[in-house]
Amino acid sequence: MLTFDTANDLANPLPLAQALIRRPSVTPVDAGALDVLEAALEQLGFACRRYPFGEVDNLYARRGTASPCFLFAGHTDVVPPGADADWQRPPFGAEAEDGLLWGRGAADMKGAIAAMVASVQRFLDAAGEPNGSIAFLITGDEEGPAIDGTKAVLKALADEGEQFDHCLVGEPTNPNQLGDTIKSGRRGSLNCTLTVTGRQGHVAYPERAENPIPPLLTLLGRLMARKLDDGVSPFQPSNLEVTSVDVGNPTTNVIPATATARFNIRFNIAHTGDALSQWIRDEVAKSDLDFDGRVEADIHVTGEAFLTPAGAFTTLLQDCVEAETGRRPALTTGGGTSDARFIQLYAPVAEFGLVGATMHQVDEHVAISDIETLTAIYTRILTRYFQDHPA
C-alpha cells in the first residue's frame, strides 16, 4: 500500500495521480489502486470502508457525520490500453514530461481523483473542519457493466442509513479546455437485441421455409420510422441507432433459420426506459401476427435520462470554475452515460473534471497545469459549499 511521508504531500495532486496511474486497474481488476487511494484518505482522517461485489472492489470514505454531506464520486478502473508498442510512453508509466502527465486513466479519471484529494488537504489547511461532511465513493466498475460498482454500493449505503446532500462526479467533462462544460444531466440508454426465428429451407422452395429476414427488416423499419422527439431543453433529440444486422448465412441458396439485429436508443427526459421498452414490445407483437415463427426482443435499460435543474448548486459550481479559469462553463447534457445516472436517485448531481480529448485513446494524457487548476477549482467548491450550503 502506498503511503506518503507527510500530510503536506497530499496537497500536491501529481504524486497521487502518478501512483494511481501506475496501478493497471483495467476493469474489473483493481491492481491496488483502491489501496493507494484508501491510504491517502485515511491520512486525511477519512473512515474508509470497502464494498466488494462480484469481481469488483469499491471504496467509500467519509470524514465527519454531520450534514450537509458533499460527495465526490468517480472510478479507478480504466479501459484496456491496447498494445504498449502503440504508445509513445508506457501506458501505466505515469511519466510527467514537458508539462504533460501520460498514462491510461490520466484524464478518465485518476487525475481528477487526485485533484479532489489534494483539494481536501488544502481546504482543511485553510478552513479547518468543515461545517458538515465530505465523502468519496470510488468504484472499480464504471468502465464495465456498472452492475457491481456505484449502483450496488449506493444501495448498500442507503440500507445503512447513509445520506448525501449533493454530489460532484469527476468525469472529464471538458471537450477542449478546462472550464468548457459542466454536465448537469445525461440522456438515458436502452439496448435491444431483436431475434427472429423462422424455418430454414431451400430458396427454390420458399413455401417449405419461413424466412426470418423480411419480418426483421419490416420491424426495424417501423422502429426507425418513429420520430422520438424534437429535443427537450436542454437535451438534444432522442435517437435510435441500429448497430448490427446479422444473419450468419454463408450460402446463396439457403433461407436461414434466424436473423438478429441490435440497436441503441439514447433518450431524453421526454421518455422513460419502461415506456420505450413497452413500445418495442408492442411493435414486436404486431410482427408476430403475420409470421409463422418467433420474434423476440431482449431489452436492457442501462440508465434513465435525468436533469439536475439549474439552481444554487450548479451556479456555485459555475462560479468556482469561472473564478479559476476565466471561463463560465455551460451546463450540458450531451455525451454518453456515467455513474451519475445512479447517483441522481439519491442526491442532486453534476459532473466536472479534466479535459477528455484523449480519454480511451492511445497516448492518453493531460496537462499537469490542468490538474493543478482543477485542484484549485475543487478547493474553491468545497470552501463555497460549506459556507453557502446550497439547497
Domain limit, last residue, from 281, 303, 325: 303
* 2 pLDDT more than 50: no
Give one DSSP letter per residue of 36-70, joined into a string: HHHHHHHHTT-EEEE--BTTB--EEEEE-SSSSEE
Q: What is the mean pLDDT of residues 15-23?
A: 97
* 374 pLDDT more than 80: yes
Q: Give the three-state DSSP class for 79.
A: coil
All cell numbers assigned to 82: 491496447
CB 160 within 8 A of CB 135: no
Report if residue 369 sits inside a domain: yes
CA–CA separation, 243 and 21 (whole Å): 33
Give the relative orientation of helices 111-127 and 33-43 as an angle to the nearest 10 degrees.
10
Domain limit, last residue, from 303, 319, 338: 303
* Overall domain count for the chain: 2
* 88 pLDDT more than 80: yes
* 8 pLDDT more than 70: no
CB 132 within 8 A of CB 69: yes
CATH code of the domain in which 83 resides: 3.40.630.10
Give the CB-side neighbour count of residue 232, counting CA atoms within 13 A.
15
Q: What is the mean pLDDT of residues 253-265?
A: 97
All cell numbers assigned to 117: 484529494
CATH code of the domain in which 299 resides: 3.30.70.360
* 137 pLDDT more than 70: yes
Catalytic positions are 77, 142
Q: For residue 172, what are the domain limits? A: 7-186+305-388
CA–CA separation, 45 and 68 (whole Å): 18
Backbone angles phi, psi at 123, to 5 degrees: -65, -45
223 and 178 within one domain: no
Q: If we measure between CA atoms, which residue out of 298, 109, 264, 280 comes closest to residue 187? A: 264
Q: How much is the pLDDT for 336?
A: 84
CB 135 within 8 A of CB 63: yes
All cell numbers assigned to 260: 438478429
* 191 pLDDT more than 60: yes
Q: How much is the pLDDT for 390?
A: 84
Give one DSSP letter per residue of 112-154, joined into a string: HHHHHHHHHHHHHHHH-S-SSEEEEEEES-TTTTSSSSHHHHH
193 and 70 within one domain: no
* Ranges of H-type helices in 160-267: 213-225
90 and 30 within one domain: yes
Q: Is the dihedral of CA 38, 41, 43, 47 positive or negative?
A: negative
Q: What is the mean pLDDT of residues 102-129?
A: 97
pTM for the complete prediction? 0.91
Backbone torsion region of residue 63, taken as left when φ is above 0, otherwise alpha when ψ lies between -120 and 50, otherwise beta: beta
85 and 136 within one domain: yes
Report if residue 2 sits inside a domain: no
373 and 234 within one domain: no
* 4 pLDDT more than 90: no
Domain limit, last residue, from 303, 327, 362: 303
Cis peptide before 90 (omega within 30 of 0): no
Model confidence band, residue 334 (pLDDT cutoffs 50, 70, 90): confident
Model confidence band, residue 48 (pLDDT cutoffs 50, 70, 90): very high
Q: What is the mean pLDDT of residues 80-95?
A: 97
194 and 118 within one domain: no
Please provide the average confidence, as pLDDT, over all residues in the chain: 95
Report if residue 1 sits inside a domain: no
**Number of neighbouring beta carbons within 10 Å of residue 61:** 23
CB 123 within 8 A of CB 130: yes
- With cell 426482443, the residue in question is 297
DSSP state of 109: I
Number of H helices, E strands in the chain: 9, 19
- With cell 454518453, the residue in question is 336
CA–CA separation, 2 and 308 (whole Å): 37
All cell numbers assigned to 210: 419461413
Q: If we measure between CA atoms, which residue out of 115, 136, 116, 149 comes closest to residue 30? A: 149
- With cell 413455401, the residue in question is 207
Backbone torsion region of residue 64, taken as left when φ is above 0, otherwise alpha when ψ lies between -120 and 50, otherwise beta: left
CA–CA separation, 201 and 238 (whole Å): 40
91 and 59 within one domain: yes
Q: If we measure between CA atoms, which residue out of 128, 289, 116 comes closest to residue 215? A: 289
Q: How much is the pLDDT for 1?
A: 43
